[in-house]
Structure 1
Amino acid sequence: MTPAADRPIRIAVQLQPQHAPDYGLLRDAVARSEDAGVDVVFTWDHFYPLYGEPDGPHFECWSLLAAWAEQTDRVELGALVTCNSYRNPDLLADMARTVDHISGGRLILGLGSGWFERDYTEYGYEFGTKGSRLDDLGESLERIDARLRKLNPAPTRDIPVLLGGGGERKTLRHVARHADIWHSFVDVETYRHKSAVLAEHCADVGRDPSEIERSTEIGGAESADEARRKAEALHDEGITLFTVGLNGPDYPLDLVESLVAWRDGR
């Protein structure tokens, strides 16, 4: 039995907060996404565009999430993913608890170790090394969990933790210990291998790997048919959460709507 056997398919959109000079464009994209039937609306946590004009318009992640929590009624919300380096982990736990309450219990706490060096340089954070950032992530996950247990009022639910990445020695160990959702950027063959490594880490900590929802991005598809074929093949391997990344200023939902129809038609 694959981890997907008892989980519903979920479709998400990542509204990348770049190249949208008017916040109203993002607000409209959130409303259209919820109306289109998506299950989750993500953003990302950077300070500058990742592609296109490098100094183009860009907005900050957690301010957006608070606004979207107030704006929406049904969808879950989160960052895909929050950079662990940019905020004190106890503060981040408090921010997450607050957005959890604003949304009525719809926050997903997406976390990663960070990688975009310009963010670090421009905002005065120590970049370190890939290994040191992953070690910091592990320590932060422990602190976040501890702080969430102390906050008053408490979160409305056990906030789901999403961890992104596929590093076999450290990242997947963090996933096995802390994640409710594992997000990866993989093809079928790579996913099979990474999933087997994750299962080994889960065995080491006494956890059933089927407890962890599997997530990926559907990117690079030239047509709706191709996107659905990719999603079908990955779903056969156990992935149930599929995200489409959209860039400003237009945030076109054609591919997203196609995947929502695929979800509803299965």
Structure 2
Amino acid sequence: MNRALADAYPDAHCELDFTTPLELAAATILSAQCTDRRVNQVTPMLFAAYPDAAAYAGADRHELEEIIRPTGFFRNKTSSLIGLGAALLEKHGGELPATLSELVRLPGIGRKTANVILGNAFDVPGITVDTHFGRLVQRWGWTALTDPVKIEHAIGELIPRRDWTMLSHRVIFHGRRVCHSRKPACGACLLARDCPAFGTGVVEPEAASKLVKGVEAPRLLRLAGLDEELAESAADTAEPVEPAEPEPAGSTGPPPEAAEAKSAGDPR
């Protein structure tokens, strides 16, 4: 299945836009309970206004909140960004550290965010256990564990370390495009033959093909062995990838990453 995923998603990547490690850290903090697409709409203004740790540390709280308001939980996220900037200035010379143990001690950064940063900004292999990753590896029978840290360790034992980051991207890509939470496209899945959860979703090929999302849909349908007519049709009808429903913009509850950051022990 890992090899099939590699063939299916050779260009899988982090879908948050960034150019520096700090930009990725900020974007990942904003992505809690928000779609990557919405985050990418907000970050150009954010990155222009706050280009470094000093800018975040000295930010006017109201101005920062207004910029990131569309991502939801904006008050908590503002606290994380200001705290992150201050901590980087105080402890790391304004630069983001490149180790898991140091990253998880920073405001707003839990283990999942740290692995995103390590794998994509520093080329340090890491497994990102988001909701898509956790759901799929359980469906596939790779692990029965539910705790994200335990899942990370268990999958790390199955897959060579050099492949951890790309595996994360490929599994997340597949979860967003084919193996959906409520209605997976089982009948149009290239992993169907090896998947122990086949039948959880729509099995009839034509109906399943309509559930496959993204510009990759025609290619994914061909890899799944569906006829050319369905693959051609998908080029015009496939819905864009939208990984999650965003939280209401006025929500003030704590994002999951905030809770994760408080209990992010056991750095690997």
**TM-score, length basis structure 1:** 0.23
**Higher CA-based Rg:** 2
Q: More helix per residue: 1 or 2?
A: 2
TM-score by length of 2: 0.23
